[in-house]
Structure 1
């Protein structure tokens, strides 16, 4: 075989130099390592192909198994380039088995060719079979080149590479088909010799393009294939695959020497044509093919990126009236250019109308029961209903469940379900003046996706409104609990008077004390009613803390152990409700007395500084565990007094101190005692307290 290469002419070497120049250009100008190596391998294999096959006769040399491996090597190298171009353009990793399979095929072909250099040229036993194999490689190259051309991120040079590949392999396919049909030898030879010229010309153009245009990733290209070209390309590939399959089947029949082989071969062709004609006449099959082709090959009708941004902007707009349903309806009508619309939301028993836009319904009460067939179809199948005048055959079985008010509505277009996590929370009716066709697969997809997004928005708004309501109820319950706690203290005072009435009712001092206590109770209840009616903070005024402490000591002087008071610093004044501040101190003293034996001690210390005061109430009682302080002490409605308390005393104290911009600290050791420390800023203006509250 080496003798064959000793007979090469200057022209053969010049055509190979074009491919070598392409390899050198790729090594210099292409930065990506994988692309650099794949282009170089492709150019070298093309150069080797030029000096081996481009000008060789069709009869003997081209049919040898040594040079057949060169053809497969050339096509494999082109596939390798296209695969790495796709990876480079998309900036993603293609499954490893693709480039690995191509590279293994290239290595195997190169080994076979190198081994064949030491052997004489031998014709492959089944040359026609090799033609089919090469046609399959050509079709695979066309498919990959089409992907590069259709990829929006492909650069100019990448798309030019795709055009070069399609030009070369499409012409090769024509040559192979010509050989299969066994047309005149002279015509086949002319076509065969032209392959070298076409390859050299396109390679030269590709070399110049790589030099002129920078090989950058994601360089925008204005070149795009039209739908017609893409569909023609796809049809060409499918037709090629079908022809190759049928030809291989016919070849198998011939090789088996079956009687009536020619008749069977003709029968295969006739049945294939009949199958194609039958499928083409089936309307359902044609629709599925059209939808599949539109989804995978044609440019989309909607720009989904812009659609989602526009929807987000529309849903983010604040409605002056605060009606979120109107915001959702406006977003849908604007997004799909609808003149009218309405939105229905699920209630306890019915879906009812909550927002409209220019919608004049014939029915006075357009409601839909939650269990109606119309609702069940939308919930279970996420079905998008169309007006009967626009719907197709697939819609007819469902149209009988359409509400009459929708059918009678002028310009009614479609009903979009609002599904949130497979739960139908509502639906939107859209009306359009100019509709020229029924909904396509893309219309249905975008309507369903938008409906889910709007449903999520509405569900979020409903949850927010419910949370606000719960907060209001929580505030009401908190105020009520505080009021009950205050009433409980007043009732305790009244109960104490009743308990001592029989014993001291004849003493004037007791009667005077009773009258004074009742007077104070009435005043406190009047103030409590005012707070419940809308003034929960009470009457804020400048309070003398020293006098409040003395008053609290006097109130608890009859209980043991008696507290002692020490004051360090000038008189302290704070802005607070006098009764509430007294309640805080009184409650802490009473709790200290309850936790301490009569022989124990309760020490109250007041330290007044320039801008704040520290009030410390320390007892020698039973103390508390740290877990109880952290988890249970300030937890509302959690009481250790069983049925005697509501469990909001400590919580209420801390909340009141926080409302005065103060802080409460607790230190306790089990069986040794507890210290409550209160920090309060001095001379805070009432307006500042209102802001903090």
Structure 2
């Protein structure tokens, strides 16, 4: 060691020994009873001894002081371990009944201290037969620095937020010193030599810890901690420990690769280091690996699997961070999936007619067009029992579910695992199908209770959102009605203008100027009315009861009307069927669908209508090869008021058609793809003359009796 290096070492370790000695004297002079104060005093004493031994070695160069400094360094770590472990023990714990987590940490600390002590004894005795003892000393010192970081991180994350302000300087000081030691000993282990510059200033680094410890001591008032054990903190601490052990193993392996690798040793060492870091990054980014680690920590370190406060705050924040109804559906699925480490899921909600459930949102799961009737066995079971259906358990023990028959579409869902009901009061809003978890999870009573409770909260959120959307739609209809009033007012003015013109026509019928002005007025009035009619559609509900309708004749009239407009419509009337409804409204519904198909299809494309009988219904299929619609539009906007893909449309026609068809007891389904085309299947109930005539007679008799 040169003269400048000796001077730096003398000042560095001398300063550390003096500062820690002064701190120990201060603690002894103002002695306060309590295990925490005694632990801090012992740590300060061992730090002072370590600094004095380093100073003696720098002044004399005697190896006995170097050995004493190494032993004092070991006990210095032991003193800080003792202090940090005492801080980690909650005030309510008794000394004879420490938490299992604290006992485990104490065991690791004692093991590291004993290994370090044995390694130093081996160095003193010169035992080099099986393993270089100095390598073991450095390896143990590196491990002690890593474990010190684990204890510091555990302390900082487990204290209550109001006490974290007091403990923060202590954690910063000790954490910085441990990080410095981590660098020093990892460098020594990798390159088989101690960095002289880092070793010389080590005393300065550790002396800087004292002011921060003093600040924490003043803030903390006898170190009365309030420990709040968190599963997330335990998981992060376990992760940090695992990473530290992994890096220690890689460092040891790198040393032997370089030692036995000859001329290629350094190249092999660098390749091993790169491969190890790449593997660590892959494991850190693996969702399934994180899931297994969380399950392992929750299973072996806690009596309950979940930190309910943490889970509830996260789930509530997930539900609250939505932008619209569709986004909220995805957030509901994701929130429930995160509770059981599921990577995918989908949400089925009751449609506006409350007759069936359809998929409303999906998260990493393919979209499905399957629907489930509201009165099906699956829905009744979910509503009556409120159970979470475990499909894996159902396949092995179906008797636990009263031999429930699952629908075919649910059985065919890839990797379907859990079915979680979403209920509000005595009504079921929907249900969520979750995919198989990333890791093996025992779906016990705790998991079931958490999912059922979260499902009820999600059902309440969705019900509130549906009510909000209904209110918004009502407000839109109010605005539409106000707009209608303005249009009616304009129509009244036009009628008044035309009426006045007709009155004057008797007197001025032979006046060429009047005739010219009359033609201009009529042309202007027609143009104004045409513009008004583009804004509105007649939506009056007929007051007469449904009658039999010849759908073939309706389709032929629509074909003839479109031919007059210069558009070709292919028709295929397979069966002659008579459907139930109001002829003018059914013709308007089919005509609206056909017009949409023509608008979406350029000249040269095909638009067709096919009619056939399908059981107790008549099916009218309208297809085209036009631009199509996206899955998002089909799922979230189609058949809702004021939603349209047309630049000048108002989105009233499709909504009106949907409502009227369902009033008749029919159904509309749509299959569409972008740039491929659209197929709209319209199911209408068949007309039964006997039943309908009996219903009409009963209606007339009740009407006569009421007079």
Provide the TM-score with structure 1 as the length reference.
0.40
Task: Return the index of the structure with the highest Cα Rg.
Answer: 1
Provide the TM-score with structure 2 as the length reference.
0.39
